Structure 1
């Protein structure tokens, strides 16, 4: 009987250790300044602006429709609608290791696009939600 109790107690301690370790991993990711998902990460618009200030070689990718892009977009952004990623993306984004900042209107399509880009082999994709959260310059070229 003592062996059974000891075995149960040992299993409970091991389970608690595994849970603690899993929680610590999530806390570490949160402290790194963004949520990592696959091979893309998510930050808010303010953090994206700060990262852009520090980066030297990056692309800002607007994944809204061409019509939405024409109504106003972040200065310097390239428009590749989410629906077309996979077809024309390699022509406009030939460097798979280049930092790509991805946004849409509210954040839904940019998450979808970031997942697609990661699946296509892009290694430094930063999703920052929607243009509605952007405090920087918006142009209508």
Structure 2
């Protein structure tokens, strides 16, 4: 599993890159604040209910959560499911909100 910082991700977003971003928080967290991407809560990842991203196994997939812990777990699970390029947002949305104004 690779990691990306909030600053690096924001720069890539600002550059207009087409990114595959997955939010593994709960729906109420996603509704409160998110940076885009597909909502697939960690519980759904654990249950292998990931149809929305099944076609991304050979592409970069960036996962995020509140602090980076759940997304780290999700990244490891996705790797065991055959995803070859999973990247975890370090510090999650807490870090994002600290550094991205």
The TM-score range, normalised by the shorter chain, is 0.7 to 0.9
Confirm or deny: 8 A CA contact 1:61 1:77 kept in the other structure: yes
Following the alignment from structure 2 to structure 1, what is the Cα–Cα distance between the partners of residues 15 and 84? 18
TM-score (norm 2): 0.81
Following the alignment from structure 2 to structure 1, what is the Cα–Cα distance between the partners of residues 83 and 16? 17
Ranked by relative contact order (alpha carbons within 8 Å, sequence separation 6 or more), the top structure is 2
Q: Structure 1: 5+ residue runs without aligned partners?
A: 1-39, 137-141
Q: Structure 2: 5+ residue runs without aligned partners?
A: none
**Computing the radius of gyration over CA atoms, which structure comes out larger, 1 or 2?**
1
Aligned pair count?
95
TM-score (norm 1): 0.60
Instruction: Please tell me whether residue 84 in structure 1 is matched to residue 44 in structure 2.
Output: yes
Q: Report 1:104-115 matches (<5 A).
A: 104-115=65-76
Q: Report 1:35-114 matches (<5 A).
A: 40-53=1-14, 56-74=17-35, 76-85=36-45, 86-89=47-50, 91-93=51-53, 94-114=55-75
Q: Report 1:11-26 matches (<5 A).
A: none
Following the alignment from structure 1 to structure 2, what is the Cα–Cα distance between the partners of residues 127 and 88? 19
User: Which of 104, 120, 132 is matched with 2:94 structurally?
Assistant: 132
How large is the RMSD of aligned CA atoms in angstroms?
1.9
Task: Give the C-alpha shift of residue 108 in structure 1.
Answer: 0.7
